[in-house]
Amino acid sequence: MKACVLYSGGKDSSLIAVVLKNLGYEVELVTVNFGIYPSWKSAANSSSNLGFKHRILNAEPNVLKSAVNTIIRDGFPNNGINQVHKYSLEHAAKNYPLVADGTRRDDRVPKLDLNEVRSFEDRNNVEYINLGGFGHKSINHLSKTLFEVKKELTSMENNSDYEIEIRYLISELEGDELAFKIFPEHLQSRVIGWRENE
């Protein structure tokens, strides 16, 4: 059975991909792109280094624009990012019988609550799987065991989170200052391959 993992190249989405592959699913790593900025490249590299099939799922720029409006109005990114994530899940569900993402037990955003998950599965006749059974300690431990991980400051080139296209559009519309206020520079972990001993 085919399984789509919404993929950023980070350790969470890499780990759920491994969990599903180990269970026998035919996993495809999918990065949604809204045509604003080619932010999928870093995820495609991580995917290729892990030996997974990677696909770009092209999506409506208007969805991102609407989320950016929400974020500019709110002054913080959470609601807008949830908007984009929910759209991405629905979009992926048109093409796959199973859609997964790296949402973990302790995550707050992006995250569907239990009623949203059930509604998503029922409306789309799809299965949804995430890392909801795993806490941060276990994920950090597993990530160290399985993956070669690079820790670095986020940039436009090394990150495939929704954040990148959103930030790009905010910069265009309102300037860099607001973009950096809403998304301050931060350290990220990017999976760059399997650990040698694996």
Closer Cβ to a copy of itself, 41 or 111, answer by number: 111
Are 34 and 165 within 8 A, CB to CB? yes
**Rg for the chain (alpha carbons), in Å?**
16
Q: Which of 35, 145, 152, 181 binds a copy of itself (CB under 8 A)?
A: 145
Distance in Å, CB of 193 to a copy of itself, minimum: 17
Are 81 and 161 within 8 A, CB to CB? no
Distance, CA of 121 to CA of 127 (rounded, Å): 6
Closer Cβ to a copy of itself, 3 or 68, answer by number: 3
CB atoms within 10 A of CB 109: 13
CB atoms within 10 A of CB 84: 26
By CB under 8 A, residue 116 contacts a copy of itself: no
Task: Please choose, out of 39-47, 68-76, 87-95, 129-137, the segment that lies near a copy of itself by the rule CB under 8 A.
Answer: 129-137
Interacting positions 11-50 with a copy of itself (CB under 8 A): 16, 18-19, 22-24
Question: CA nearest 52: which of 16, 81, 88?
Answer: 16
Q: Which residues bind a copy of itself (CB under 8 A)?
A: 1, 16, 18-19, 22-24, 98, 103, 105, 114, 117-118, 121, 127-135, 137-138, 141-142, 145-146
